[in-house]
């Protein structure tokens, strides 16, 4: 737009500072562009009017300002020779009747795919549509659609599965939906249907589709109560771990799967099943690929829980690269990773410290890293854990050429800490 064109101030949205395309009046009396105020309310979760700072609930009415819109359109037409494009008349907002009609069409095989794609398209348009779809029960409808496909043919993938999963990324299952699924005693079957998808063979977009299934599982698990996590089956963990092992998910899918496993780690029964599925081994394999910080924090947290049981520690030590990877991560990623790594080492040092393990710790530099931790600005309890490991096995390590020289600064720090 030409800088010399003077736009009437009341044509400008107070949020976007652009000419309004669909002006609406909030209950506070201030006019905003619909897209801007809905993003303010629905996506950013704000509860006050940007101008007046008065309460503005996200379910408050937004009244179309037709008069102002016509004035803006007329002004645009008058200035078209100056390069001003006329704003189109906005489409009427999506309403619940339209959504329910599309959901009804899901039952007609001829209209099923068309209906799902239309719902997905509506979800991508704006935040208002997402809210309307949520209020109309679309997330639960998609979950039941997937469950229905699962019941009808376990050995084949029903049409529309990919579209339903994609839609659930835009309009997520709410806590209220989860409560309803649990009250209807179908929640476990829903999890079964989603884990079934993880083992299905999708001709195209397999990584994306399976990642979407994992993210829906994560959302359901996080919104369910503790009884949900306590009822998880061996097959559930088997499928999640297999997805990580085969690498058939996106980075977002890996993060989602790890968050699911971490949520389940709170219960000993789950930890045992996860170890039996080879989860410890897979955590190390993921770390050997040098993942992003958030992935490392998740894998280390899971390893911390799994190494609290004997079978978990045994599986950890069976991996030839476990100690080296764990050691390499200390003081390299974050304080949270250091915390988990030191505690894992403490558990191994206390319960699984065979001579072979202790020699491995020397060989890969674990002992030297523990000395470095003593000089860091970490929390006192972490330093105490590190010193406890060194103290418990100093007799084995002190005569080794791999142990820090007695005249070195590392050694002086260690002696000082031992005395104190």
Q: Is domain 92-277 given the CATH code 1.25.10.10 in the classification? A: yes
Query: What stretch of H or E contains 71?
Result: helix 66-78
CA quadruple 173, 174, 180, 185: dihedral, nearest 10 = 50
> How much is the pLDDT for 418?
46
Per-residue pLDDT of the chain (420 residues), as tens digits, is 445 688 999 999 999 999 999 999 999 999 999 989 988 988 888 889 999 999 988 777 889 999 999 999 999 998 888 888 888 888 888 899 999 999 999 988 889 999 999 999 999 988 889 989 999 999 999 999 999 888 886 545 667 898 999 999 999 999 999 999 988 889 999 999 999 988 887 767 788 889 999 999 999 999 988 888 999 999 999 999 999 998 778 899 999 999 999 999 989 999 999 999 999 999 999 999 988 999 999 999 999 999 999 999 999 999 999 999 999 999 999 999 999 999 999 999 999 989 999 999 989 999 888 888 888 888 888 888 998 998 888 888 877 665 655 555 555 655 555 445
- What's CA 265's distance to the chain center, in Å? 17
> How much is the pLDDT for 403?
62
> How much is the pLDDT for 103?
94
> How much is the pLDDT for 414?
55
Query: What stretch of H or E contains 63?
Result: strand 63-64
| Residue the block writes with tokens 């408050």 | 60
Total residues found in the chain within this entry: 420
| Whole-structure pTM value | 0.81
Q: From CA 245, how far away is CA 222, in angstroms rounded?
A: 23
Q: From CA 339, how far away is CA 343, in angstroms rounded?
A: 6
| Radius of gyration of the chain from its Cα atoms, rounded to whole angstroms | 29
> How much is the pLDDT for 391?
86
Determine the topology of domain 9-82 in CATH.
Herpes Virus-1 (3.30.40)
> How much is the pLDDT for 157?
61
Q: From CA 188, how far away is CA 41, in angstroms rounded?
A: 34
Q: Where are the domains of the chain?
A: 9-82, 92-277, 318-420
Give 220-268 pLDDT, tens digit per residue.
999 988 888 999 999 999 999 999 998 778 899 999 999 999 999 989 9
> How much is the pLDDT for 1?
46
Tally Cβ neighbours within 10 Å of residue 47. Answer: 11
């Amino acid at each position: 737009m030409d800088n010399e064109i003077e736009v009437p101030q009341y044509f400008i949205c107070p949020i976007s500072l652009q000419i309004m395309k669909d002006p609406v009046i909030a209950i506070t009396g201030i006019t905003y562009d619909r897209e801007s105020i809905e993003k303010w309310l629905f996506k950013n979760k704000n509860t006050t009017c940007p101008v007046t700072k008065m309460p503005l609930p996200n379910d408050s009415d937004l009244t179309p300002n037709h008069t102002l819109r016509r004035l803006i359109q007329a002004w645009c037409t008058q200035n078209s020779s100056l390069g001003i494009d006329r704003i189109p008349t906005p489409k009427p907002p999506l309403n619940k009747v339209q959504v329910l009609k599309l959901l009804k069409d899901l039952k007609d095989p001829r209209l099923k795919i068309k209906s799902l794609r239309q719902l997905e398209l509506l979800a991508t348009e704006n935040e208002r549509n997402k809210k309307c779809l949520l209020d109309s029960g679309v997330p639960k409808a998609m979950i039941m659609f997937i469950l229905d496909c699962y019941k009808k043919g376990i050995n084949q993938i029903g049409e529309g599965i990919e579209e339903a999963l994609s839609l659930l990324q835009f309009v997520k299952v709410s806590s209220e939906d989860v409560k309803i699924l649990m009250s209807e005693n179908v929640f476990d079957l829903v999890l079964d249907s989603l884990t079934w998808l993880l083992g299905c063979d999708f001709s195209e977009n397999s990584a994306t589709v399976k990642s979407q299934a994992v993210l829906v599982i994560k959302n359901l698990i996080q919104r369910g109560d503790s009884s949900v996590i306590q009822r998880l089956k061996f097959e559930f963990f088997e499928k999640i771990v297999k997805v990580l092992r085969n690498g058939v998910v996106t980075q977002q899918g890996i993060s989602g799967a790890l968050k699911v496993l971490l949520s389940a780690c709170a219960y000993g029964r789950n930890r045992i099943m996860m170890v039996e599925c080879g989860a410890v081994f897979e955590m190390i394999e993921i770390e050997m690929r040098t993942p992003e910080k958030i992935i490392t924090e998740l894998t280390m947290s899971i390893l911390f829980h799994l190494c609290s049981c004997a079978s978990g520690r045994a599986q950890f030590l069976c991996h030839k690269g476990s100690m080296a990877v764990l050691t390499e991560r200390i003081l390299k990623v974050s304080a949270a990773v250091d915390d988990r790594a030191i505690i894992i080492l403490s558990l191994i040092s206390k319960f699984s410290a065979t001579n072979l393990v202790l020699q491995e710790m020397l060989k890969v530099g674990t002992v030297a890293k523990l000395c470095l931790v003593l000089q860091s600005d970490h929390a006192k309890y972490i330093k105490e854990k590190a010193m406890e490991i060194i103290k418990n096995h100093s007799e084995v390590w002190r005569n080794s050429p791999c142990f820090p020289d007695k005249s070195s600064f590392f050694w002086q720090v260690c002696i000082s800490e031992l005395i104190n």
